[in-house]
Chains A and B, each alone.
Chain A
Amino acid sequence: MGERGWLRLQPDEAPALAPSAEELLRRVAAGDETAFASLYDLVAGPVLGLATRVLRNHAQAEEVAQEVLVEVWRKATRYVPERGSALTWVLTIAHRRAVDRVRSHQAVLDREERAGRMDVRRPFDDVTESALAGLDQQRVRQCLSALTDLQRESIVLAYYNGYTYPEVAAVLKVAPGTVKTRIRDGLIRLRDCLGVDR
């Protein structure tokens, strides 16, 4: 961490005295199951929350979360710290898994049904949030509300619903190229607003 590092707000990090997720993941890569149990405590909440958000089904979300967490154990040796934080790595795996699940053939019907009851303007109202979510949620909500409606709706539908950008375009009745661009410029604004570096 740089000399001014302690001045920065980094909600992704564990409390100062506990080992960081990166350090835990390094130990997990060496086969340390105790370190994995500690890493579980840091990441399981966001992983399950994300899976629940994307799948809208508690049983399936728990199944996916369990698969993701075991994959984190299995692939820990493949984590490259230079490419991003451990939490981002875990949540990238989680999002991909959840999305793969909703895009599989048997999920198509579920998904059409989900589309009928989603409300993209109020993405945070129906979850039992954890303390961790509470810390981040207010800031994320503020930053999301600073986006244009099209940027926000595109990002929410893509990330929380697992839609491809052409599917988002069909829902919002705009051109796919427009959604592609709005996802990118919206995320860049969100990145700057949240102060994300990697």
Chain B
Amino acid sequence: MTAELHMLTGAHALDAVSDVDRAEFERHLGQCAPCRQEVAELRATGARLAVAVAVDPPPDLKPRVLADVARTRQLPPKVPPVRRLGRAKTWQLRAALFGAAAAAVVAVILGVATTPAPVDPVLGAPDASAIQGVGRGHATLVVSRSRNQAVLLASDLPVLDADHVYQVWLIGTGGARSAGLMAPEASQRMLLAELPADIDRIGITVEPAGGSPGPTTPAVSMISLT
């Protein structure tokens, strides 16, 4: 499985993968330093293909870009744009963490632990903040803007039959893109490797087994980042 995933480095470096494949592979990248190295090198190789087709930009492009830049606010490097934790929120976060830890223990005991995602650095990040979802079950998103990562903690979602899965979506100005499928266990946590800045909501929908390229049903839970 890992060897096969590793073959995806080239296609991933050239963006030649579906959103579902990308999300899955990026989770793999989080645990595979040689893969990150190879992707970096192959991306740099791809960049040479771009330089080879460089054109002279029309003279009016630069003033247009500079005018846009003059009225565009830059992303801050560390300070998270989401709410800071108050005491109540800290308590909620602790409760969520406890739940997640308990779920992890259950998963290990039952022998269903799949790939261990490196979620702890996110949950322990100094700027971690928790946001509750609206909808069925309990969905909590713990966001670390400094790490540009988030962990989705879900529990008590209705149990699905074998032909359906829960799929997680990053929703922003560009529409919804898949962040991957959730494992079928009732309680789980899932690392969202990258949280692009334009994303303002995270949605969970029920999709046919294997997932869909885009959401096909109303969200069972929605988490608003703003």
Least CB distance from B146 to A in Å reads: 10
Least CB distance from A156 to B in Å reads: 8
Q: Name the contact of A187 in the complex, choosing from B15, B42, B65, B148 (C-beta under 8 A).
A: B42
Instruction: Given A158-B14, A158-B16, decide whether A49 and B44 contact each other with a Cβ distance below 8 A.
Output: no
B45 in contact with A187 (CB, 8 Å): yes
A87 in contact with B41 (CB, 8 Å): no
Least CB distance from A125 to B in Å reads: 11
Residues of A22-49 whose CB lies within 8 A of B: 29, 31, 33, 36-37, 40, 44-49
A132 in contact with B69 (CB, 8 Å): no
A94 in contact with B50 (CB, 8 Å): yes
Task: Give every chain B residue within 8 A of A148 (Cβ-Cβ).
Answer: none
B45 in contact with A196 (CB, 8 Å): yes
Q: Which of A1-9, A69-77, A112-120 contacts B (4 or more CB under 8 A)?
A: A69-77
Q: Name the contact of B55 in the complex, choosing from A127, A136, A181 (C-beta under 8 A).
A: A127
Instruction: Given A70-B68, A85-B44, A158-B16, decide whether A29 and B77 contact each other with a Cβ distance below 8 A.
Output: yes
Task: Give every chain B residue within 8 A of A183 (Cβ-Cβ).
Answer: 10-11, 14, 16
A164 in contact with B65 (CB, 8 Å): no
B65 in contact with A184 (CB, 8 Å): no
Residues of B133-151 whose CB lies within 8 A of A: 148
Instruction: Given A91-B47, A191-B41, decide whether A74 and B72 contact each other with a Cβ distance below 8 A.
Output: yes
Chain B contact-residue range equals 35 or more
Task: Give every chain B residue within 8 A of A104 (Cβ-Cβ).
Answer: 174-175
Least CB distance from B67 to A in Å reads: 10
Smallest Cβ-Cβ distance to B78: which chain A residue: A77
Q: Does A83 have its Cβ within 8 Å of any Cβ on chain B?
A: yes
Least CB distance from B12 to A in Å reads: 9
B51 in contact with A136 (CB, 8 Å): yes
Task: Give every chain A residue within 8 A of B57 (Cβ-Cβ).
Answer: 44-45, 48, 65
Q: Does B88 have its Cβ within 8 Å of any Cβ on chain A?
A: no
B51 in contact with A180 (CB, 8 Å): no
Interface of A is mostly: helix
Number of A-B residue pairs at CB separation under 8 A: 206
Residues of A112-150 whose CB lies within 8 A of B: 123-124, 127-130, 132-133, 136-137, 140-141
Q: Does B13 have its Cβ within 8 Å of any Cβ on chain A?
A: yes
Q: Does A55 have its Cβ within 8 Å of any Cβ on chain B?
A: no
A45 in contact with B55 (CB, 8 Å): yes
Q: Write out, one digit per residue, whether chain A residues 149-173 have a CB within 8 A of any chain B CB (1) or not (0).
A: 0000001001110111110100000
B54 in contact with A40 (CB, 8 Å): no
Smallest Cβ-Cβ distance to B62: which chain A residue: A40
Residues of B203-226 whose CB lies within 8 A of A: none
A180 in contact with B11 (CB, 8 Å): yes
Q: Does B132 have its Cβ within 8 Å of any Cβ on chain A?
A: no
A92 in contact with B43 (CB, 8 Å): yes
In angstroms, Cα B68 to Cα A11, docked, is 30
Least CB distance from A79 to B in Å reads: 10
Q: Name the contact of B7 in the complex, choosing from A37, A181, A190, A198 (C-beta under 8 A).
A: A181
B9 in contact with A197 (CB, 8 Å): no
Listed in ascending order, the chain B residues whose CB lies under 8 Å from chain A are: 7-11, 13-18, 40-58, 61-62, 64-66, 68-70, 72-77, 148, 174-175, 197
Of all A-B residue pairs in the complex, the 6 with the closest CB atoms, nearest first, are A184-B10, A158-B16, A45-B54, A77-B77, A183-B10, A50-B50
**8 A-B interface contacts by CB (under 8 A):** A50-B50, A50-B54, A74-B197, A95-B50, A133-B54, A159-B16, A162-B15, A191-B45
